[in-house]
Amino acid sequence: MSSRRRSPKSKSPESASPIAAPSEDGGQRPLSPDTPGGQQPTSHGLTYNQIPYDEEEDVDSGGEDEESLRSTTSLAESIFDYRKIHGRTFQNSKTTEYWGPNDDRQNAGLDIAHHFITMLKDDLLFEAPIDPPPTKILDVGTGTGIWAIDMADAYPAAHVIGTDISPIQPLWVPPNCEFHIDDAQLEWTYPPASFDFVHIRALYGSIGDWGKLYAQAYKALQPGGWFEDLEFTITLQSDVPSVRDDPGHIFKRWAQIFFEATDRLGKTLRIAMDSTMRDLITEAGFINVVEKKYQVPSGAWSSDPRLKTIGRYNLAFLEESLEGFALFLLQEIMGWSYIQVQMFVMEMRNEIRNPKIRPYYIL
């Protein structure tokens, strides 16, 4: 989702563009029903048809790459005193609760996600049509800082600030990149109009008041500056009727319990559903609001080579992350036992690995 801060020259807000997917020439085209693989209505009431597949092909799940992907990611060991749940470490913020562990395993998942998301966007770090290139950039909830570091490398004349509640960013970073420990839900301390680009990615389930967050991003931007936020839906989907039409399938039970847990926490996981982002971003005052939806395969089941690779990385990301998604929310918030959590995660793991049901979700 990208959008622009109204500049004094703008007379009236432009209407939002139709939902679009990137075309091969890097532009945008509306989703069309012509792609092989067919289209099915989703739980969001929209139809998607971006992932081609071949009925005949004997595909594997793509999970074989997990070990090699993990071994290539090295992150600095933290010396801070974190909260521990069953051997996983969690940030101990005094001002907010965050569901995810901040240990190497979860962080490896974040870095893998960065890789497939960048591939999904045709190797772009952002999609807003920022021209000239941004020079003062803020990445809110930066995680391992991988996006901020890549941006600093790609735009050496820019200054990039990444903020997070967890000090999990590397120490050796480009000279034009810095990190601050900051809870994005508190009042931002940057003077108004400090940045020409504010970027957010994957703060789903972390924010109590999204309207306030977007309003703070608006205020921090110079007139004419750009804002981009990319969020996950958490409902795995399948167009295979036996899964799609089964209300008790693990994909639906999984989403349901996570919605309930984060509702209890007061931090919705439904932010990427039902045009909520677009509505709140528009309410914050932004114009030129463009919403894009990507269908992301889990596993290497697509016949399209690019989506096959993306699916393989996405599955590796999910494999690294599933337990981390569940541990705090299901055990601490929903009161499940550790064994229950592990059984639930195992059931989910089996299904996301199953290429025959062609799992995917929407970004």
Ligand X SMILES: C[S@@+](CC[C@H](N)C(=O)[O-])C[C@H]1O[C@@H](n2cnc3c(N)ncnc32)[C@H](O)[C@@H]1O
Q: Return the number of the residue (96 or 340) whose C-beta is nearest ligand X.
A: 96
> Any contact of residue 105 with ligand X (CB under 6 A)?
no
> Any contact of residue 326 with ligand X (CB under 6 A)?
no
> Any contact of residue 295 with ligand X (CB under 6 A)?
no
Q: How far is the CB of 269 from ligand X (least distance, A)?
A: 11
Give me the 59-98 binding string for ligand X, x by CB under 6 A, dash otherwise: --------------------------------x----x-x
> Any contact of residue 202 with ligand X (CB under 6 A)?
yes
> Any contact of residue 110 with ligand X (CB under 6 A)?
yes
Q: Give the interface segment with ligand X, choosing from 54-62, 181-189, 221-229, 283-291 (CB under 6 A).
A: 181-189
Report how many residues bind ligand X under the rule CB under 6 A: 22
Q: How far is the CB of 296 from ligand X (least distance, A)?
A: 14
Site for ligand X in 27-56 (CB under 6 A): none
Q: Return the number of the residue (142 or 216) whose C-beta is nearest ligand X.
A: 142
Q: Return the number of the residue (3 or 144) whose C-beta is nearest ligand X.
A: 144
Q: For residues 97 and 102, what is the distance between their CA atoms, to the nearest angstrom?
A: 13
Q: How far is the CB of 112 from ligand X (least distance, A)?
A: 10
Q: Do 282 and 289 contact (CB within 8 A), yes or no? A: yes
Q: How far is the CB of 139 from ligand X (least distance, A)?
A: 7
> Any contact of residue 284 with ligand X (CB under 6 A)?
no
What 3-state class would DSSP assign to 169? coil
Radius of gyration of the chain measured on its C-alpha atoms = 20
Q: How far is the CB of 209 from ligand X (least distance, A)?
A: 11
59-96 in b/e form (b: 16+ CB < 10 A) is bebbbebbeebbeebebeebeeebeebeebbbbeeeeb
The set of residues, in sequence order, having a beta carbon less than 8 Å from that of 227 and lying 6+ positions away, is 2, 3, 4, 5, 128, 197, 198, 199, 200, 214, 217, 218, 221, 281, 286
SS3 readout for 68-135 = HHHHCCCCCCCCCCCEEECCEEECCCCCCCCCCECCHHHHHHHHHHHHHHHHHCCCCCCCCCCCCCCC
Q: Return the number of the residue (150 or 260) whose C-beta is nearest ligand X.
A: 150
Q: Give the interface segment with ligand X, choosing from 5-13, 73-81, 200-208, 286-294 (CB under 6 A).
A: 200-208
Kindly state the DSSP code that residue 167 receives in the 8-state scheme. Answer: -
- What is each CA distance from 254 to 134, 185, 223, 250, 306, in whole angstroms? 39, 27, 42, 6, 28
Positions touching ligand X (CB under 6 A) are 91, 96, 98, 100, 110, 114, 141-143, 146-147, 163-166, 183-185, 201-203, 206
